[in-house]
Each structure stands twice: as structure tokens, then as C-alpha cells.
Structure 1
Amino acid sequence: MKQRLSKARTVAAVAVAWGVLVGGAAAGTTRANAADGGLTRSTPVRLAPGVTYTEFRMPLSRGLVHGHLLTVDLSAPAVTVDLLHPAAVAARARVSELAGERDAVGAVNGDFFDISEAQHPGVEATGSSVGPAVSSGRELKAAVPNGQRFGPALPPGATTEDVLGVGYDHRARLDRLALHGTIRTPHGSWPLRGLNQYALPEGAIGAYTAEWGQVSRERAVCGTDTDRAAGCDTDAAEATIRNGRVVETAERPGAGVIEPGSVILLGREAGARRLRTLHVGQRVRLAHRLASRLPGRLRCAVGGFPVLRNGHPAGGLDTAAVTMRTSAGIAHHGRTLLLMALDGEKGLHQTGLTVRELADLMARLGARDALDLDGGGSSTFVTRDQHDEEQVRNHPTDGRERRVANAVGVFSTG
């Protein structure tokens, strides 16, 4: 998908940047009050009923912060929000492609994901996201252990189960989704501790469905609960369940398409030893759900970690690493969703933010709660243009769109 940022718009952006840096109000922008630290915003553009687009700029001593913001009125009857994702959990796609496939009005990239397995030679990176994923009410996957997370270290108190959720009540919220699952066998009931995850807890059994895709499941038995880089466990076993019965067993993680209606159970250490007691023909029943901490069914959920709660930055946020950021904010008691991504265009003295600075920014933009999503080269902001095509509004730092695990999409029937 080509970026439709014209030369004229680039020149205008430079002019606005200089206007902000010298303290003047540039044409087409509105100055925030002094408490906003010089934050300026362009005049909001209505993309669809309940959805507006704004650019903003904020000067810092090291450069100019330039970002893009979607403001979504979740109480508008025409508006819905959903998780966009490729055809498989273990796959990646560009945000513009995901948005175009479902005619989204706008979208930003979502959760951190398994992008590299340099520590495990010969093991394929899965592309699967870190946290839980729910799309159109369908539970796609659960969270990997905290120590298996790909991305920056979690701040104190955060877990890989943290999500931004949007319910069928048209309210957004910060929540946590924990996997509750049981495997019932002739040998007793065992806990199910994984669902379509690129990493399983030590000693656990996880389930892989057709939604996982055809990528090898070998990564699931690499690393430990506290060390992502630890080696891959050779004590592993699988059992394929179809129509409630064991139809196949194996002594190592497999790959390839999983037939619809089939479930592959993969165990490591103690979990593998349990699976080896199963034999072809035995009955096995599975039950699982992603349990929310808050009442109300979620239409969608995407993983990340909280940076802002009740208008205050979360404790222990990083103040050193500066990069481009993507974030989702919540305002007006969950009735408003703010989707933000920074611009990584080169040559305009632009800068990124630390996580702590991101929390401050989201508060200035009006959020009471906010979640940090994947950033750096993944930060992508897409809206539909006047030609009904998906336009990448920001400049990803890689110079092109990165393929990502999922995205947050906004829809309006107006």
C-alpha cells in the first residue's frame, strides 16, 4: 500500500514544525493550554459518523513529536471496533491490508509479537502475538508467560494478560484475560495452560486449533517462564484429538495444517509425560475460556501493557528508551477510544517518546486510561481516504509498513 503523502504536505509539515518550535501558532492548528506543554492539534477531520482524525505536534528539547490520532465515539450507533488479524494466529500482515480486507475506516497496529528467534537457531519465528487475542467475540489465543514476552520489559505490576478490550456494551476498558481450561481424560482431569501460544509455561499442556495455522509448534517448548533465550526442551509430546478421541500421538512438536475440528495437545516436561499416557482411541474432552476480571462479554481484545490509569502514569515506567510509539487510550468512562501512532518521518528533527512520556502524552490527549501497543518499526496508522482506499498516514521507521500480528480496526456504517 503506497503512502499518499504529497511533497506539498511534507513542506507544510515542516512549516508547522517550525511554527511550534518557535512558539507561534501555525495555520490550521489549535493551541492547547499551557499545561499541555505546547501541544498543538490540527482541525479535526470527520472520517465517518463517530470517527474523527487529527494530527498533533509537541516540541521537546531533543526534537519534535509528531503524531496521528483517531477519536472514536463508541456510543455512536454506527461505530464498532474489532481486532484485525491474518488468516492464522501464527502469521503476519500489513495493517493497511488487514484494514482494507474488512473496509475499516481506520486502524493502528496492535500487540507485540514473536518477530525473531535468533537465540534458537533453526527454530522458526511464529509471528504470533504476545498477549490474549479476541476478535468478533471469538477467542483466538491466550497469553505467553511473562518471561517469554517479546518486546521491552514489563513495568511493575503488568502482565502479558493485560489487554485493551471493547465490549458488546460499546465500552472500552483495560482488563486482564486469563486462560481457564481443563483436559478430561481416562486418567483424570489436567489443567490446560495454553491456547495457540508461541510459548508454553514449563511443565504445561497447551492446545492448538486450526486457527494457529501451519507454522511449526517447536517454539512453544523453547525458553522458560523467566528466560526467553533458554534452550528448547527435548522432553515434549503431542496428541491429536478429533471428535473427542485421540487419533494420533507424536514424540515431538509438529507442523502443518491442523484440520478444522481437530485439536493438537502439546506438552513439555510434566505435561509431556501426561500426554504419553494417552493412547489412540481414548476419549478426551477439552473446555477452555479466557476469563475476564470485569463483567461483560468482550467483542475484541488486544494485548499490551497499561501506561495510564485513572489519569495517572503507571508506576515504574521506563524513562530511557526513546522510540516511535502506538497507544490506545480510553476517555469518558469508556465511551471514547483514542488510537494514536507517532510519525517516524526522517529529516524533520522528529523524535519518539519514552514509555513514561507516552503516558503523559495520552493524558494530554484526553485519555484517563491507556495501553502501550507495539512500537518502533511496527507503529502504523491507517485511515480510509476519499478514494475508499487505505492510506498509511504516518511514516513507519523502517521506510515501509512492517507486517504485524494484529491491529485494532474501527468501523462505521455511516
Structure 2
Amino acid sequence: MAGAAPAEALPGATRIAPGVTYRHYDIQAAKGLTHAHVLSVDLRDRRIRVDLLYPGAVAARGTVSRLADTQGAVAGVNGDFFNITETQHPGVEATGAAVGPAVTQGRALKAAVPDGQRFGPRLPPGTNTRNVIGVGTDRRARLDSLSLDGYVGTSEGRLTLGGLNQYALPVGSVGAFTSTWGSASRVRATCGTDTDRAAPCSTDTYEVTVRHGRVVSTANHPGSGPIARGTTVLVGREAGAQRLRKLAKGAAVTVWHRLVASSSWIPYRFALGGYPVLRGGRPLPGLDNATSAVRTAVGIADRGRRLLLFAVDGAPEYRSGLTIAEVAEALRDLGSAEAFSLDGGGSTTLVARAPGADAVTVRNHPSGGVERPVPNGIGVFRAG
């Protein structure tokens, strides 16, 4: 692939905010000419911060432009792959929730679904749904993995928590749903298996509602509707359901959880899921070099001090797009040492606010002709 140039040398740069510039340029890819849009974000500039764009609930969606304007972001791109459809489970609602972990303002919103339950292209070898890109409290960006650590404590002992605000639970586990989940049905959490997203929904389920440390209600099937603050809904399937059936109304229950990083001891202020494509300046082995598509990705440059938000244009003349291997190469050419693939196709959207404007504008052409609502994204904000 040819035609890429270092991010700081690309022509036509526009200053969006202190430490934030926007550029667009052509890439001659294997399957034809494509067009890329790039936001360069200098994390050393304390007038700027990066955080999660999301609609206020895990199981909800909004367009990137609306999320950015609602939260006051000056720029952003779409984020993680998500539970977009449920054609294999008739009568079960798609939740719209993302695949991987999510952290905003240092607070864990959700954990990752099992690898076999993810939506999106085949994962590169050695990657999984727990992979994230994040920015720590030290203002450095990193690639990492976030795993759920948690338990349900009862008078009979502790039960390991298998999920947190996620649309699919491991077989035989118990998952916790909080007010952060939203009002979507929790039935989808008991469908499929750890290795087969299309497997039937479990027939052995149970739900327990805990409020202020006490069981207040139980049900044989997962429910729906908003969850009040101070309330946790526990959903069990198979062995997990059997354990929950032992909890009577009024029983004392403690629910505790956190996300644990595998590579860094520095807490994350922001993180979201996807999968890595570039590490240490080298593309991951086994990246797809055959399937071209419209893509969104993010690169990490200058030892974690600069982010490059990257989106391929979806206009008809550019829609052949890039392969995942070409995405890794493009971000390396832009100066990235690490890179991370996000949801693409109709989800790919990059927005930025022109200086003096009150709202962002969509800078690429979404391949579907209009913006697709998505569960989250990466937002760039003026600090303070």
C-alpha cells in the first residue's frame, strides 16, 4: 500500500481545538483508491481530554454526532462492535450493547461477553473480547485487557460473578445488571453459548433483584425495564440459576465487582473494546489481508502521548476500503506504534466541530448514507 504520510505532515490540517487537528487524505489500497480521515489528539495538552461517548446506558444507541453534541465533545469516532441483531433468536430483542469492556471517568460500565458471543469480523490470533484501548490517569494511551473480578456474597458463601451489564453471560454463570444497563430486556444474556452465538436460549434461568443489600424479588425468567440506583439485578443461567434459587426474599446479599487490567497498574479513566492490529510497530500475525471494507481504528503514537482517530470514507467511489492488514499499515505509516480496530462498515463515523461552531459535523461519508446509531465511541473534549 502506498500514499500514506506521517500524520503531522499531511496537507490541509485544520485545528479543531488545542492539541487536536483534523486531516483527510487518499490511500492507494490493493483494491483501489480510498480516502481516510484522521484526528490527531495530543494527550500532553491538558486543555484536552479523551473519554467515552455513550448515550447514558450500556444497552442503548445514538449517532456519533448526537452523542458528541449531547456530551459536549469537540470531536470523536464510533467505538466497539455491538449486539446489532438477533435473527437467530426469534422473539429476543437485540440490546444494542457493546461487545467488550467499557470505562468512563474511571468508572467501569460493563465487562466483555464470551469470545464466541461477539459480533464483528474474525478476531486475529491471540486476541479476545477483553482487549481494550484506554487512557490512564497518567494521560497515556495503552492497549490492554480488562477482565471482570467480582462475586455475589450470601450466607452460604461466595459465588463468582460471570458478567457485568453484558448482553451475553457465560454458560452456568450469574451476571449483575445495574442502573447503568438501561431498560432493555435481559433475556439475551441467557441465549447462545460461550462458543456459539446462535445456540438456543437457555431454558434454565432465574433472576433475583437486590436492593440495598437485601433480596426484594425473584423471577423464573429475566425481565426488562429500568433498574433503580442502589439496585442490582442478578441473572443466572443453568448452574448459576440453580444457585440463585437458594436466595429467598429478604436474604442478605453483597455484590462486588471491578475490572482488572492485565498490563498496567495505572487506573484507566477511559477504555473501550475492539481488537489490536499493531503492537510495537509490527502488525499482528494472521491479520486478514483479503477482505476490504470501510473501517474505523485508533493508533497510539509518541509513547502513548498521542492518539490518531482514523476513519475510512464510505462514499461509493471509496467504498472498497481497506483490509485489516492495510489498516495496521496505514496507522504505522502515520506514526503509530500500536493500533486498535473498532467497528466499521455502516458504523464508521468521524465527527469534528469547526472552530466557533456550536455542533460537530460528520467529516466522512457513512457507507449507509446516514449515521448508524452505535453504543459508544471515543470522544475528544475540552478540559474544564
Are residue 345 (structure 1) and residue 345 (structure 2) matched?
no
8 Å CA contact 1:238–1:265 kept in 2: the answer is yes
**Corresponding residue for residue 88 of structure 2:** 119
Distance 1:216 1:252 in 2: 11
Corresponding residue of 2:366: 396
Q: What corresponds to 2:105 in structure 1?
A: 136
User: Which residue is equivalent to 1:406?
Assistant: 376
Q: Where does residue 183 of structure 2 map in the other structure?
A: 214
Deviations 1:37-79 (A, max 9, x none): 2225333211111111111211135321201101111011101
- Of the two, which has the highest radius of gyration? 1
- In the alignment, what sits opposite 1:90? 59
Output the TM-score relative to the length of structure 1: 0.90
Q: Separation in 1 of the partners of 2:309 and 2:188? A: 32
1:100-121 C-alpha deviation (Å, 9 max, x unpaired): 0122111000000000001000
Superposition deviation, residue 289 in structure 1: 0.3
Q: What displacement does 1:350 show?
A: 4.9
Q: CA deviation at 1:317?
A: 1.0
C-alpha contact (below 8 Å) 2:35/2:318 kept by paired residues: no
Answering whether residue 253 of structure 2 is matched by residue 288 of structure 1, we say no
Per-residue CA shift, 1:361-404, capped at 9, x if unaligned? 11011110000000000000000024221100000000000000
Query: Are the structure 2 counterparts of residues 355 and 223 from structure 1 closer, same or farther at C-alpha, using a change threshold of 3 Å?
Result: same
% identity of equivalent residues: 55
Task: Tell me which of 135, 153, 161 is aligned to 1:166.
Answer: 135
Q: Whole-Å Cα distance in 1 between the matches of residues 19 and 318 of structure 2? A: 34
Structure 1 segments unaligned to the other structure (5+ residues):
1-35
How many positions carry a matched residue from both structures?
378
CA displacement at 1:276 relative to structure 2: 0.3
Superposed CA RMSD: 1.2
- In structure 2, the CA distance between the partners of 1:234 and 1:63, relative to structure 1 (3 Å rule), is same
What displacement does 1:318 show?
Answer: 1.2
Q: Which residue does the alignment assign to 2:293?
A: 323
One-letter identity of the residue aligned with 1:37: A
Structure 1 position 349, deviation (Å): 5.0
TM-score scaled to structure 2, two decimals? 0.96
Would you say the 8 A contact 2:53–2:378 is kept in 1? yes
Separation (CA, whole Å) in 2 of partners of 1:383 and 1:60? 25
2:190 and 2:237 in contact (8 A); partners too: yes
Partner of 1:39: 4
1:162-221 Cα distance to aligned partner (Å, 9 max, x none)? 000001111000010000001110111110110000000000000000111111100000
Residue of structure 1 aligned with 2:240, choices 268, 271, 294 = 271
Distance 1:342 1:373 in 2: 12
Which structure 2 residues correspond to residues 191-202 of structure 1 after superposition, within 5 A? 191-202=160-171
- Once residues 342 and 106 of structure 1 are traced to their aligned partners in structure 2, the CA distance between those partners, rounded to angstroms, is 16
* Aligned 1:172-321 pairs, distance under 5 A: 172-293=141-262, 294-321=264-291
Name structure 2 gaps, 5 residues minimum.
none
Using a 3 Å threshold, how does the CA distance of structure 1 residues 61 and 142 change in structure 2: closer, same or farther?
Answer: closer
Q: Is the 8 A contact 1:112 1:374 kept in 2?
A: yes
In 1, distance between residues paired with 2:318 and 2:210? 56
**Within 2, Cα distance between the matches of 1:102 and 1:248?**
35
Q: 8 Å contact 1:63–1:350 — kept in the other structure?
A: no
Whole-Å Cα distance in 2 between the matches of residues 164 and 413 of structure 1?
A: 20
